Amino acid sequence: MTVDGTRITRAERQAQTRERLVEVACELFLTEGYAATPLDKVALTAGFSKGAVYSNFSGKEELCLAVLDSLHAEQIEGIVEAFSARTDLDSRIDAFVEWARRSVGTPRYTALEVEFAAAARHSPFVARELVKRHRDMRAMAAGLITQIAEEEGIELALTPDQAATSLLSLGIGMGAMRSLDATIDVSVFAAAIRSLVRPKAQ
Amino acid sequence: MTVDGTRITRAERQAQTRERLVEVACELFLTEGYAATPLDKVALTAGFSKGAVYSNFSGKEELCLAVLDSLHAEQIEGIVEAFSARTDLDSRIDAFVEWARRSVGTPRYTALEVEFAAAARHSPFVARELVKRHRDMRAMAAGLITQIAEEEGIELALTPDQAATSLLSLGIGMGAMRSLDATIDVSVFAAAIRSLVRPKAQ
DNA sequence: CGACTCAGATACCGATAGTATCCGAAATGT
DNA sequence: ACATTTCGGATACTATCGGTATCTGAGTCG
């Protein structure tokens, strides 16, 4: 009820705090790593104290889950965009590989996800949450694959679900390897995709 | 120079200590995870104090590298054995998939490797060591693939190195996923291998 | 047999995730 | 409008763990 024009409710303020914390945590987790980033540092960089983290998240794990959510959203957007240009199959694959070149391994999405998965595997809650997200990703990929197969009039050698699982595995594996050995070329990805997606009979 | 028959030199004793530490660390790292296993616990379980670890290894990281080495040796042995039965390509792939079913994801080799890689990525030394091991694995796989292709008289759609990289990525990715979601079936692995290894012109 | 070495033990330090408690401003009721 | 309650965030503290410094006693060598 202040006379000030910048009226802000308590919930709004907290939402801002939360958002800012996720933003900063994302930045730091990606560059420094999950375990290597102290909560203190996240909080202080965001301009708060550790208390702010604990009144917005149950702990470091839940904060990281929020970070992963925002990253997943970003990744899905990128993938869908790569495929949405409706030209022929080859240029779609090229677009996807181009996306992969920019996004797989170098910003360490997968490294983070995979470090977190391993480090937090003792927690049944975290495990469940991660599995849920993986299944969503897989379903999304499978849907995209069927859609594209239909549009291009292709019959695939693998079921959409198998193809999705393969591509996700490939992405995770290559992301993990590339995050510590940048010399690994994603062109392998292209070749693998082409042979996975190659139509069944010729 | 004791009268006791069990004469043992100091170096031998130390080698035993080292071996025992690696053994126990392997067990614990695989079941509990790298970060979640205190060095104290490793040392005490092995019947020593933490001092023993530090007089045999530069620290936790080097201990884990030793663990990974023993695991790599074991894995390579399993893979080579799976392929060494010289029958037709299909049954070789079946044997490999059977190995994968037993070894990918469930004993958490990859989870450990990948957690370690992510957690220790800030250390240039560790990064170099891991990259070295990856390249060895890749070279080994590529060699195996060329050999098999020759024996079976097959011309591959991918270069041996590309195929090796793809398979390694697939293995890492599926290992990571399966270590927290056991419902993922390795049969996908079989399908992926078949389409990656499929001969070029029919 | 005496001096030395070094594998392993003990004691300590610093960092960090998590907990308990506190404070003050916003929300609420009268 | 004022008193009361609520609760987001701050502060202070604890527990755990990797790493370092120092010590000790059995094994080694002159």
**What's the 3-state SS for chain B?**
CCCCCCCCCHHHHHHHHHHHHHHHHHHHHHHHCCCCCCHHHHHHHCCCCHHHHHHHCCCHHHHHHHHHHHHHHHHHHHHHHHHHCCCCHHHHHHHHHHHHHHHCCCCCHHHHHHHHHHHCCCCHHHHHHHHHHHHHHHHHHHHHHHHHHHHHCCCECCCHHHHHHHHHHHHHHHHHHHHHCCCCCCHHHHHHHHHHHCECCC
The two three-digit tokens of residue B172, written as one number = 């890492």
- Decide if A188 and B166 are in contact by the 8 Å CB cutoff: yes
Question: Cβ A35–B196 below 8 Å, yes or no?
Answer: no
| Nucleotide whose C1' lies closest to the alpha carbon of residue B18 | C7
Residue B53 confidence (pLDDT): 98
Mean pLDDT (whole number) for B28-52: 96
Distance of B194 CA from C15 C1′ (whole Å): 50
User: How far apart are alpha carbons A32 and A36 in whole angstroms?
Assistant: 6
pLDDT at B139: 94
Residue A85 pLDDT greater than 90, yes or no = no
Identify residues of B whose CB sits under 8 angstroms from chain A CBs.
32-36, 108, 111-112, 114-115, 117-119, 121-122, 127, 130-131, 134-135, 157-158, 162, 165-166, 168-174, 176-177, 179-181, 184, 187-188, 191-192, 195-196, 198
CA of A43 to C1' of D12 (A): 17
Report chain A residues whose CB lies below 8 A from the CB of B108: 118
Q: What is the pLDDT of residue B142?
A: 94
Lowest mean pLDDT among A1-10, A77-86, A181-190, B161-170: A1-10
Closest nt to residue B14, judged CA to C1': C7
DSSP 8-class letter at A156: B
Alpha-carbon Rg for chain A in angstroms: 20
Structure tokens, B106: 């469930």
Residue A48, CB, less than 7 Å from strand C?
no
- In tens, the pLDDT along A25-50 reads 999 999 999 999 999 999 999 999 99
Q: Is the CB of A56 under 7 A from strand C?
A: no
Mean pLDDT for all residues in chain B:
88
With contact defined as beta carbons under 8 Å apart, do B133 and B65 qualify?
no
B51 CB less than 7 Å from any atom of strand C: yes
Residues B127-142: pLDDT tens digits? Answer: 999 999 999 999 999 9
**Cβ pair B173:A177 closer than 8 A:** no
Q: Give strand pairing partners of B156.
A: B199
pLDDT of A202:
44
Chain B interface mutation, best of A122, A132, A168, A172, highest count of B Cβ atoms under 10 Å: A172
Interchain proximity B35–A36, CB inside 8 Å:
no
Query: In the predicted model, what is the mean pLDDT of residues B45-52?
Result: 98
Which nucleotide is closest to A37, CA to C1'? C16
Torsion of CA A173, A179, A181, A183, to 10 degrees: 90
For residue A167, the chain B residue with the least C-alpha distance is: B170
CB B198 within 8 A of CB B166: no
Given pLDDT bands bounded at 50, 70 and 90, which one contains residue A4? very low
pTM above 0.85, yes or no: yes
